[in-house]
Amino acid sequence: MPRLRRLVAGHFTPARIAALRPRIVEIAADLLAGLPEPGTADLVSGYALPLPVTVICELFGVPEADRTVFHVWSNELVMPASPQTGASAAGALGAYLADLIHRKRGAQEADLLSDLVATAREPGAESPLTSEELLGMAFLLLVAGHETTVNLISATVHALLTHPDQLELLRSEPELVGSAVEEALRHYAPVHATAFRFAAEPLDLAGTHIPTGDAVQISLAAASRDPLHFPDPDRFDLRRQGPAHLAFGHGLHHCLGAPLARTEAVIAVRLLLHHCPDLALAADPAALTWRTSMLVRGLSELPVRIGSVGAR
Ligand code: HEM
């Protein structure tokens, strides 16, 4: 395992993430309690977004007062309105994180960033993090925590509300919620492409010649709908069997946050459906808009009708 990945991988094991479950349930329940009932609400800004943002900020010890501006920067970084605004958000985020790391050095707090700060300066450690590496790691993890799971939660709900037979199936067999999240990962690919790879040697792939040094970006969205591997790939099907999707990437760089993202999405969908037995889309599906960048794709808004709340 690459050195930098090894230094943080221990914090993202399924066991560490399972320990967060009660807190994730609590945050989701609080958010649901804040939705109008009955009424209509935007499920992205009211639920799918604040859930993972609160979890990742608590995990990293980002003070509550800073979370809104942090999110504005991270959003601008991933989907910049222009190259200038993207660069200025990256600068602001980097300066903010450098300052937060500085503050963590002085205070012995119980959060992941404080742990990384401690790892960074352990005397005689086999491979301590340099300050730049620490900053880069905090940057990557916090931005990933902000810009990905929101799209998975909203995509899963969108899929269920636009496929009433699958929603009915899930309501009758709630234990399929994990399958619903996996199928949404395959069907929507919230991170739709990998970071660039560079060809180490010349390569011929499906009739295309790739010379040494050329940049290659892999479409995970296309891979997860490859008809050679996924029969009837455009169908959203909770009972789908067969090969695993590629929504979290593959191999050496397989997503480190996958256990966290899966846990959050399963809890979010399970609690939402339980809380809102009559949940329905409050907009024409064709009118919904999607925000797409080089890496991520997700709904801008998901207007829903809440109806009566409580058990059916
Ligand atoms: C639905 C949610 C998520 C999806 C679909 C997703 C997807 C991905 C994908 C496809 C990659 C591989 C990129 C490549 O090969 O170039 C990746 C890497 C990574 N993800 Fe995620 N991710 C999600 C959530 C998260 C979360 C919540 C975190 C952390 C808080 C996270 C942290 C990372 C890190 C650190 C890497 C780089 C791993 C490495 O290079 O060794 N991800 N993710």
**pTM beyond 0.85:** yes
Residue 220 one-letter amino acid = L
CA distance 3 to 1: 6
CA distance 20 to 16: 7
Pick the CATH number of 3-191+257-305 from 3.20.80.10, 1.10.630.10, 3.40.190.10, 1.20.120.530: 1.10.630.10
Which pair of structure tokens corresponds to residue 300? Answer: 């801008």
Q: Which of 141, 248, 269 to mutate to test the pocket of ligand 1 (most atoms within 8 A of CB)?
A: 248
Number of the ligand 1 atom closest to the C-alpha atom of 4: 41
Closest CA to 44 of 272, 278, 274: 272
Residue spans of the domains in the chain: they are 3-191+257-305
3-state SS record for the chain:
CCHHHHHHHHHHCHHHHHHHHHHHHHHHHHHHHCCCCCCEEEHHHHHHCHHHHHHHHHHHCCCHHHHHHHHHHHHHHHCCCCHHHHHHHHHHHHHHHHHHHHHHHHCCCCCHHHHHHHHHHCCCCCCCCCHHHHHHHHHHHHHHHHHCHHHHHHHHHHHHHHCHHHHHHHHHCHHHHHHHHHHHHHHHCCECECCCEECCCCEEECCEEECCCCEECCEHHHHCCCCCCCCCCCCCCCCCCCCCCCCCCCHHHCCCCHHHHHHHHHHHHHHHHHHCCCCEECCCHHHCCEEECCCEEEECCCEEECCCCCCC
Q: pLDDT tens, 280-298?
A: 999 999 999 998 888 999 9
Report CA(189)–ligand 1 centroid distance (Å).
12
CA distance 103 to 217: 37
Residue 223 one-letter amino acid = A
CA distance 146 to 169: 31
Q: pLDDT tens, 154-193?
A: 999 999 999 999 999 999 999 999 999 999 999 999 999 9
One pLDDT digit (tens) per residue for the chain, 312 residues: 677 788 788 888 888 899 999 999 999 999 999 998 889 999 999 999 999 999 999 998 998 888 888 888 888 888 888 889 989 999 999 999 999 998 888 787 888 888 888 877 666 556 677 888 888 988 899 888 888 999 999 999 999 999 999 999 999 999 999 999 999 999 999 999 999 999 999 999 989 999 999 999 999 999 999 999 999 999 999 999 988 999 999 998 999 999 999 999 999 999 999 999 999 999 999 999 998 888 999 999 999 999 876 654
Report CA(276)–ligand 1 centroid distance (Å).
30
CA distance 97 to 91: 10
Q: Which of 148, 250, 254 to mutate to test the pocket of ligand 1 (most atoms within 8 A of CB)?
A: 148
C-alpha 248 chain-centroid distance? 10
Report CA(284)–ligand 1 centroid distance (Å).
31
Which pair of structure tokens corresponds to residue 132? Answer: 């730049």
Which pair of structure tokens corresponds to residue 59? Answer: 């995990």
Residue 137 · residue 129 · CB < 8 Å:
yes
CA distance 67 to 62: 7
